[in-house]
């Protein structure tokens, strides 16, 4: 199933949901990652402060992959804009 995430604020709910779906506690997740339960709890509550490398490590542990998709509306907006997006 595909779950669109449009803001970083949505990420904690998805991480918790995927962890629970896999039957893992924060403590067991932390053990698999080689960190403390408190460190994992902080990550899960506030993943937007983590590095991409750490996020990908957690997602691999949860057997979750990231896919990027370009919506047609946004593509039209970018095409009509002459400035760089950054």
Q: What is the pLDDT of residues 52-84, one digit of tens each?
A: 999 999 999 999 999 888 877 555 454 555 566
pTM passes above 0.95: no
Single out the residue of 17, 18, 14, 16 nearest to residue 4, CA to CA.
14
Tens digit of each residue's pLDDT (9 = 90 or more) over 5-51: 889 999 999 999 999 999 999 999 999 999 999 999 999 999 999 99
C-alpha to C-alpha distance for 58 and 44, rounded to whole angstroms: 9
Q: Give the number of other Cβ atoms within 10 Å of residue 40's Cβ.
A: 23
Domain ranges of the chain: 8-66
Nearest to 58 by CA among 75, 46, 70: 46
8-66: CATH architecture: Orthogonal Bundle (1.10)
Tokens matching residue 76: 């039209």
């Amino acid at each position: 199933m595909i779950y669109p995430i449009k803001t970083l604020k949505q990420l904690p709910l998805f991480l918790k949901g995927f962890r629970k779906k896999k039957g893992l506690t924060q403590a067991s997740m932390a053990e698999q990652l080689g960190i403390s339960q408190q460190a994992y709890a902080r990550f899960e509550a506030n993943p937007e402060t983590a590095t991409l490398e750490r996020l990908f490590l957690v997602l691999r542990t949860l057997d979750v992959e990231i896919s990027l998709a370009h919506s047609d509306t946004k593509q039209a907006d970018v095409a009509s804009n002459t400035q760089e997006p950054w």
